[in-house]
Structure 1
Amino acid sequence: MGFSQALSGLNAAAINLDVVGNNIANSQTVGYKGSSVQFADVYTGALAGQGTRVAAVLQDFSNGTLEATGRSLDLGINGNGFFRFTQAGEVVYSRNGQLTLTADGYLQNSQGARLTGFPAGVGTGGQPVELRVPAGAMNAVATSGVEMSLNLDATVDSVDRAVIPFDATDSDSYSYANTGTVYDSLGVQHTMTTYFTKTADNVWEVRVAVDGNADAANVGELVFNNNGSLNEPASTFPVYGFTPGGGADALSFDFSFDGSTQFGNDFSLDSLTQNGYAAGALVGITFDEDGTLIGNYANEKSQVLGVISLANFRNPEGLTAAGDNVWTETGASGQPLLGLAGIGQFGTLESGTVETSNVDLTRELVDLIVAQRNYQANAQTIKVQDEVLQSAVNLR
């Protein structure tokens, strides 16, 4: 029996050395989780017991340290959760967020597993899909609204329209003008000029021209209160229409003059914005803390391309390690709980970082010495048992 006890100890010690050695080997592996061995004695009614066995090898899923890399496609989870990937038709989970962008736009790790998430605008109610960055340009959007805030000089003289009709080429037929930019449905930029004419005390006529062509049918009117603030209910803001040509749709947009004033100061344009833009090629992608994948385009616009889905488990220690920094679901782990970063039990995402291995190298080296001594002690037990047996054989 002594030999079997020592042999069981050697086998258990060898497995312990394997586990410690594997931890040390992966001390620099991104997202790696260290393992530890749990031993159990073998006791089946024998007086002295029958040795030991390895009851389980458990992984420690405590978080590693986030280390900055400066690379935008490196992602680290600050808190709980796993990235969800698809690999060879199977769903796998990982803490390694070192991603690359494939030629066809998929986000995947170095082993070819593709990152999954929710399509843009769907949210957690949808089914996770492989996230893909479209190669096409962002479509142009025609201007449909213009917001302008300005001050109109209350001291200027009124223009009598019965005497002086409006003429864009005659500066005496209007009081003030400014220019801006609008876009048609093809993303072609056009020059918009807005003309303001004081026609009576606290009343201003508004006309709009695009590329020098005025919309004569629609004339707006700004009415101000005696304190210089805009009286919006009394004002009219028509929709201005133009035909840009070149195959583009007819262009029409309305105006908002919120915050405009009429004081005895010089004319001034405080702000001018419009909601149209030209088409733009993709120039890069970024990630928000909540896992939102954002495409950035050459027209200085951005749009949401999807949201990374994170997964968590009731019992992460029940996951099965499948190699290549991934785990698979088992009955012991429970079903994955999907969600978004930063909500509920899920940690936030940190772009430009990776999670280092949670292996404490100093502790592993100490454990290695202990495991080695354990192996040597069991080997010594076999030696002693052999000497005892030899002594019994030599009895006469």
Structure 2
Amino acid sequence: MAFSQALSGLSAAATNLDVIGNNIANSETVGFKSSETQFADLYASSQAAGIGVQVASISQDFSTGSLETTGRDLDIAISGEGFLRFADSTGQVVYSRNGQLNVDADGYIVNTQGAQLTGYAGERVTGEPVVLQVPTAPLAASATQDNLANSIYGAQISINLDSEAEPTTTTFDPMDPTSYDYASSMTVYDSLGSEHVVTSFYTKTDSNTWDVQHVMDFAGKSAEYQSDVNAGITPTVDFDVQVEQISFGTNGQLNSDYTQTAMTYTLANGAEDMNFSIDLTGSTQYANDYEVTSLSQNGYTSGSLVGISIDGDGRVIGSYSNELTQTLGTIALANFANDQGLKPNGDNSWLATAESGEPLVGVPGEGVFGDVVSGAVEASNVDLTTELVDLIIAQRNYQSNAQTISVQDEVQQTVINLR
């Protein structure tokens, strides 16, 4: 018996204790992956007996840890395959399963070590991933407007007009309620984000035909009109009435030849003149009460960023004070042919190596990549009970190797004491 076997055993056992101790120490580290010491025996070709043991490798366990809810909008976990992709302070790309994120003073999405999350800016998921930065500028106002290339109209109203209403013969006057049957209103926006209210008046002209008169900012103009009347002045208010006609078939449905009419309103507040259509598709004429069934428009005022969140597709969503949301970017995930080839880098991250292979980059929920779970983190996959049992076994292994040295020492003392 030589000391070499016992010394190699002590060295291997010490490494095993280090690995188990590191697992236990990181049992509460978000995104941590446990490791296991793998041993191999040592033989010399000239000897029948082995000459000890060596640490063959330290294997990493990349199984998914349990997902724990945190409630933070910027905490994310990956349910399935993939690693988050970060650029550290040196510009080096590192990979992690720790999704504890924040936004720094410059708008970059960073982890607790300051490494910047990478992905695709805006709505487009193309090209090489870049660091994601949340724009701090307000969301610009957008006027209510048509996009005829995509058959999108600035505003939409669906109504039911009572078929039993009697045709009106009185000349339309927005200040005379007897000159129309019904009215509806909606808020639209100009290029500066200022609100305007368009009031639509519905006047039945025949059994299945109606005139629709649209007036912008009717409330203000009617107040001005009434003020002139009260002052004994002949009103000169221009209501700027925009007119279109609609007709219905015998089934109560809007006729198929209906076409939207673009309306132009001249503004005096410095904004561009407004030009948009109000689409009445879906409107009906049934023997029921007048009812507005849907109403929408595509303009909005400007808004300040009030928060960000990340959805299951990895999209970074900005929420604005005008109650709108906008996709600010999409997180990139990476996967590897050989996870075991990744090199631990500390700070809950790994580096790609030749053994791991080149990273396959994509977005959450597509191909081999898992979904993103918002408001949660992935806990360490360390099984603390198993590690404590392994610790006892490793300690006994270390003691046994130490005992081997003690026995070898006694044998040598016996040989020395022979006379």
Task: With the length of structure 2 as denominator, give the TM-score of the two structures.
Answer: 0.90
Q: Which moved more, 1:244-253 or 1:151-160?
A: 151-160
2:138 aligns with: 137
Q: What are the equivalent positions in structure 2 for 1:15-94 lying under 5 Å apart?
A: 15-45=15-45, 46-87=47-88, 88-94=90-96
Partners of 1:357 and 1:151 in 2: CA distance: 59
* Residues 1:187 and 2:193 are matched in the alignment: yes
2:288 aligns with: 265
Gaps of 5+ in 1: none
**Equivalent residues, number:** 390
Query: Deviation at 1:151?
Result: 1.5
Q: What are the equivalent positions in structure 2 for 1:1-396 lying under 5 Å apart?
A: 2-45=2-45, 46-87=47-88, 88-123=90-125, 125-144=126-145, 145-160=154-169, 164-212=170-218, 214-216=239-241, 218-233=242-257, 235-396=258-419
Partners of 1:36 and 1:236 in 2: CA distance: 72
Partners of 1:355 and 1:266 in 2: CA distance: 56
Query: Deviation at 1:237?
Result: 2.5
Partners of 2:372 and 2:239 in 1: CA distance: 51
Give 3-state SS (helix, strand or coil) of 1:261's partner.
coil
Partners of 1:268 and 1:60 in 2: CA distance: 62
Q: Residue deviations 1:211-270, cap 9 Å, x none?
A: 135444x4211011122211130x343101102221111111102112211123332222
Partners of 1:261 and 1:154 in 2: CA distance: 9
Partners of 1:176 and 1:191 in 2: CA distance: 16
Give 3-state SS (helix, strand or coil) of 2:161's partner.
strand
Give 3-state SS (helix, strand or coil) of 1:22's partner.
helix
Letter matched to residue 159 of structure 2: L
Task: Sort the Cα spacing of 1:244 and 1:58 in 2 relative to 1 into closer, same or farther, 3 A.
Answer: same
Query: Deviation at 1:158?
Result: 2.1
Whether contact under 8 Å (1:106, 1:131) holds in the other structure is: yes
2:148 aligns with: none
Gaps of 5+ in 2: 146-153, 219-237
Q: Residue deviations 1:27-70, cap 9 Å, x none?
A: 11111111111111111212212111111111111111001111
2:230 aligns with: none
More strand by share: 1
Whether contact under 8 Å (1:83, 1:94) holds in the other structure is: yes
Partners of 1:251 and 1:200 in 2: CA distance: 31
Q: Residue deviations 1:272-310, cap 9 Å, x none?
A: 111111111111111111111111111111111111111
Partners of 1:284 and 1:330 in 2: CA distance: 37
Q: Which moved more, 1:259-268 or 1:43-52?
A: 259-268
Q: Give the percent of matched residue pairs that are identical in Structure 1 and Structure 2.
A: 54
Give 3-state SS (helix, strand or coil) of 1:357's partner.
coil
Partners of 2:239 and 2:162 in 1: CA distance: 23
Give 3-state SS (helix, strand or coil) of 2:382's partner.
coil
Partners of 1:103 and 1:352 in 2: CA distance: 22
Task: With the length of structure 1 as denominator, give the TM-score of the two structures.
Answer: 0.95
Give 3-state SS (helix, strand or coil) of 1:358's partner.
coil
Partners of 2:260 and 2:4 in 1: CA distance: 96
Q: Residue deviations 1:180-222, cap 9 Å, x none?
A: 1111011100111111111222111111111135444x42110
